[in-house]
Structures are given as C-alpha cells and as structure tokens.
Amino acid sequence: MALGFFNRLKAGLSRSTQKLSDGITGAFTRRKLDDAALEELEETLIAADLGTEVAARVIAAFRRTRFGREVTDEEVKTALAGEIAEILAPVARPLEIDPAHKPFVVLVVGVNGTGKTTTIGKLAQHYAEAGLRPMLVAGDTFRAAAVEQLQIWGQRTSAPVIAGAANADAAGLAFEALTRAAAEGADVVLIDTAGRLHNKSVLMEELRKIIRVIRKHDPSAPHATLLVLDATTGQNAIQQVRVFKEMVDITGLIVTKLDGSARGGIVVALAEAFGLPVHAVGVGEQAADLRPFDAEDYARGLVGT
C-alpha cells in the first residue's frame, strides 16, 4: 500500500486509534499482565468495536504468551497489532476482474446511506484508469439523488450510465445494460441497487429478480456481489451482513467512511465473524481514498504503532 494512502488511512483511523490507544496506555504504563490487566484489556477491545469473539481470541493469545510478565503499553500495542493482522490476513483480498467474463458483472448492495453509489463511482474511476471500460447501472431507481450521483461519476470516467425513469424496474435496466455492454465491448458492469431495508421482503424480491434477469444473459453472473458497509454503524454492520447474506450470495465487502468513525475495529469483528473477503476500505470522498485492503497496514493504523 502506498505510503500516501497509509498516512490517509492512519489519519482516517485516528479516532478509532485514540479510543484503543488511550485504553491500553491507561491500563499498561508498566505492569504485570495478570487477570485484572487482561480483563481491562478485554473491555478496551470490546469498547473499540473489535467484538467479543476477537477480544476473547486476543486475550487467550496474550494469556498463552505473556501472562505474569511485566509489559509496557508499547509492547501490548505491538503484540495487539500482530494479533489483529493475523485475523485480517485471510480476508485481505483485492477484487480481481476476470477477463474471461466480458463483461464482468458486479452487483453492489447495501442499506441506503452506506456510500454504495459513491463506491461504484470510485471503482469505475479505478477501472477506467487501469484501461478497462466500465459501464454503470443506476439500479436504485427510487432515489433521484443516486441516479444523479452516478451520472456525475459517468461523466468523470467517460463511462456510459444506464438509467430509467423514477421507480423504473431495476431488473429491466440491468438487462438493458448487459445487452449494451456486449454490443459496446464494456469490460465491467457495475450495478447499483436500492437499499430500503424497512421492507426486507420487497427488497429481497427485487434483488433476486435482478439476478434472475442477469442470468438470462450470462448464467455465471453476477461475478461479484459486493456489500458496502458504513464503518460508523459499528456493530450494526454485523447484522447488515447477516441480513444481506439471507438475500443474496455476498462474495466480498467494502467498508466506507472510516475517516468519520471511532469504530474502525468493526473490520476486525467482521473478519472474525464471517471470513468474507474485504476488498477495499474508504477514508474520504475522492476516488484515491478507496483502496485495496491491506491487513498489516490496517492493524498498524488501528493500534497506532
């Protein structure tokens, strides 16, 4: 990961880092790692949104390797960063666009407000810069703002945007997009979707219909189904993964808005709970602020080492 982005990631995670770091420094100026110290550390980890499973796993490792020893806060932070990196390493996998599928179809899902539409625009810009031809589908037809936003990204990236009238059938738009993508030689089709969770059964039916229609064009599509999560929701993100996994076959996660959150630990909790690939993380509004997820950089940035 480029140093520039690591610095932005570190700055973005600063609120999360402070929460975690203050707790560790407060508990470990120089003291013996006994039961009381481990209990304090566990509470600090849970408060930092790492979740109870991760906290228990880290405490078990500390008990095994350092129990009864005198430790400093810096030693604890370094060891903690190592434990977190180990949890994150298996899920840090970039999204690979397989050229055998042309177009490569990416369905993007998530509740409203997570940054789905902006994420699609940023991905389109990355692909365009890599020499690929993206096409965008404004499948969240209930929100005029989402359609307008995609059209702006389309202009920036010279990518065609398939949009319909307000409340148009999203599955119909997806079908139109794939027909055009095949005719125009697009490499990647990025499909935005609605995220109205208050009526789960309607949303579930809409997403399944989009997938059925896509498969009439290409039985292997969608080739990736990405769930976009907002880091500021903390533990709610766990529930969102559960809900969307019931609806569609989620193949990977993108976590946004880490720069506005003191809950960066949620990425670690998600890795432990689901083991789904975390393809990218976002720390700002610009396309350059969404980058492939790096386990070691994230662990160091989160703990502040």
Within 10 Å of residue 239's Cβ, how many Cβ atoms? 11
**Using CA atoms, how far apart are residues 206 and 218, in angstroms rounded to an integer?**
18
| Residues in binding site | 110-117, 192-196, 256-259
Residue type, 121: G
Instruction: Confirm if 126 and 157 have CB atoms less than 8 A apart.
Output: no
**Using CA atoms, how far apart are residues 89 and 30, in angstroms rounded to an integer?**
30
User: What order do you get walking across the sheet with 134-137 strand by strand?
Assistant: 161-162, 134-137, 188-191, 104-109, 224-230, 252-256, 278-282, 290-292
**Using CA atoms, how far apart are residues 104 and 188, in angstroms rounded to an integer?**
5
| Residues in binding site for GTP | 110-117, 192-196, 256-259
